[in-house]
Each structure stands twice: as structure tokens, then as C-alpha cells.
């Protein structure tokens, strides 16, 4: 993986905001995820919603590095998934100025979306989110695959980050 900018000529944001990671779980898995202990993930397409207080770009770059190297220090629940050999990071979207919990609730409200692991990524959430990791149904998965650079629809502009091939 290149350590250069994902979008040539773009100066990365040093702003607070949310981001969405897109993951493919190739086969159903049982794995250890820190304080959540042993979890089960059915095969499928997932989205994870996170946030960064300083520099969304740096946080996404860290996640991409873990996913590419399949090793590294586990600071957050998502790190356990990113380093697993049967889970692939397929894309990401930065949402400057957006609230992690607002984005999470928006995704959770879509038809065919489920939260298979309660508290995943939301153990410190004060907004009442069930989780910040969601499994998408077949219809949502088909829709997302037709869009090369995915974004959450909102009234604020999003920085689109290209999909990794």
C-alpha cells in the first residue's frame, strides 16, 4: 500500500468528524475481540462507523495500514477485524463535522441492516447506539457495490476517498 495521499493534490483534513469503513467477511467467523470476548460474525458485507477528534485522514490511514499488513496493536474493537485474514477492508468514507452516532443511527435505520454484535465500537457511546458495526442485507450490499466512492447522504459535504482495488 502506498503511504502517499489517496487523492492527489488533496491536503488531508485535520478536522473532527466521523468515517465509515466497508468490510467484507468472506466466511462466518468466531473471533476474540478484546473486552467483548468471543464474537460471531456471519459472512457478509459490513460497515463500521468511527470518529476522530483530530485528523480523520490519520485515523483512516491507520485502519488501512492494519488491514493491509494484517498485524498491529489493537486499540479499538475494529482493529481485531482489520487484522483478521478473512476480513477485507473494501472502502472508506470521511465525513468531516459529522457525529459518529448520528451517522450510526442513519445506517441502523435502513432496511435490511442489522447489528450482530451489541456494543461493538460503541461501548463508550452516550447516545444509546446499539453498536457501530452493521451487517448489510443483500439489497444494501448490491446498492453499495454499484457506487465506486461511497458516501452517507447528508446535508453536509463529505470528502470521498477512493475505493481500494
What is the rounded distance in angstroms from the CA atom of residue 91 to the CA atom of residue 21?
A: 6
Residue 140 has pLDDT above 60, yes or no: yes
Question: C-alpha cell of 3?
Answer: 503511504
Q: Cell 468466531 appears where? A: 30
pLDDT (mean) for 92-104: 89
What is the rounded distance in angstroms from the CA atom of residue 102 to the CA atom of residue 99?
A: 5
Q: Work out the mean pLDDT of the chain and round it to a whole number.
A: 79
- What is residue 39's predicted lDDT score, i.e. its pLDDT? 94
- What is residue 141's predicted lDDT score, i.e. its pLDDT? 60
- What is residue 44's predicted lDDT score, i.e. its pLDDT? 94
Query: Residue 11, Cα to own-chain centre: how many angstroms?
Result: 22
Residue 117 has pLDDT above 70, yes or no: yes
**For the chain, which residues make up each domain, given as ranges?**
17-146
What is the rounded distance in angstroms from the CA atom of residue 53 to the CA atom of residue 97?
A: 10
**DSSP class of residue 12?**
P
Q: Are 31 and 84 in contact (CB under 8 A)?
A: yes
- What is residue 151's predicted lDDT score, i.e. its pLDDT? 43
Residue 48 has pLDDT above 70, yes or no: yes
Q: Are 30 and 67 in contact (CB under 8 A)?
A: no
Amino acid at each position: 500500500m502506498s503511504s502517499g495521499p489517496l487523492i492527489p493534490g488533496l491536503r488531508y483534513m485535520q478536522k473532527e468528524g466521523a468515517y465509515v469503513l466497508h468490510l467484507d467477511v468472506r466466511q462466518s467467523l468466531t473471533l476474540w475481540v478484546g473486552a467483548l470476548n468471543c464474537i460471531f460474525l456471519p459472512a457478509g458485507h459490513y460497515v463500521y462507523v468511527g470518529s476522530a477528534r483530530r485528523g480523520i485522514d490519520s485515523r483512516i490511514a491507520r485502519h488501512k495500514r492494519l488491514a493491509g499488513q494484517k498485524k498491529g496493536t489493537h486499540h479499538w474493537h475494529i482493529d481485531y477485524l482489520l487484522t483478521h485474514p478473512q476480513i477485507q477492508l473494501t472502502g472508506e468514507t470521511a465525513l468531516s463535522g459529522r457525529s459518529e452516532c448520528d451517522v450510526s443511527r442513519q445506517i441502523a435505520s435502513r432496511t435490511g441492516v442489522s447489528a450482530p454484535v451489541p456494543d461493538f465500537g460503541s461501548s463508550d457511546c452516550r447516545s444509546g447506539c446499539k453498536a457501530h458495526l452493521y451487517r448489510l442485507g443483500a439489497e444494501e450490499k448490491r446498492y453499495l457495490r454499484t457506487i465506486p466512492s461511497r458516501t452517507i447522504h447528508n446535508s453536509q459535504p463529505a470528502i470521498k476517498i477512493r475505493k481500494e482495488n
